[in-house]
Amino acid sequence: MPEETYHGIPRSKIQWGPTIDYEKCINCGKCVDYCTLGVYEFEEKDGKKRSVVKNPTNCVVFCTGCDGICPASAIKHPSKIETREIMRKLKKAQIKE
Ligand code: SF4
Ligand code: SF4
């Protein structure tokens, strides 16, 4: 079950999740097998299967585990520093509410 909040912030507001660079992706499916949280799925389009980021908010905030298993270095996550800064602002806005 994915987290609904992270440090009191709704998970849906935290833009943390992987992205796939399809210029590099070789559709090996390792990311789909590796992450057990259902972040990735195989999608069929025009008779071809490709890995897609189906549920980005299932990704554990600050996990980058799958970056290193991609043989094509096609997976990236946002900057941790920028994400921390965004979270800090969200938290501040919550306190003011
Ligand atoms: S592991 Fe990398 S190359 Fe393989 S399907 Fe996922 S993104 Fe594409
Ligand atoms: S970073 Fe971790 S939780 Fe997020 S998709 Fe990759 S393995 Fe799954």
Indicate if ligand 1 lies below 6 Å from the C-beta of 39: no
12-24: pLDDT as tens digits: 999 999 999 999 9
Q: What is the pTM of this model?
A: 0.90
Q: For residue 61, what is the domain's CATH number? A: 3.30.70.20
Q: Quick check: helix, strand or coil at residue 25?
A: coil
* % pLDDT > 70, the chain: 95
For residue 74, the enclosing domain spans 5-96
With left for phi above 0 and alpha for psi between -120 and 50, is residue 54 left, alpha or beta? alpha
C-alpha torsion sign, points 20, 44, 27, 66: positive
Look at residue 30 and tell me whether its pLDDT is greater than 60: yes
Atom 4 of ligand 1: nearest residue by CA position:
28
Indicate if ligand 1 lies below 6 Å from the C-beta of 53: no
Indicate if ligand 1 lies below 6 Å from the C-beta of 75: yes
C-alpha torsion sign, points 25, 74, 20, 52: positive
Query: For the chain, how many residues are written?
Result: 97
Distances (CA, A) of 97 to 46, 90, 93: 48, 11, 6
Ligand 1 atom, smallest distance to 28 CA: 4
**Residue 70: nearest ligand to its CA?**
1
Q: Quick check: helix, strand or coil at residue 53?
A: strand
- Total number of domains in the chain: 1
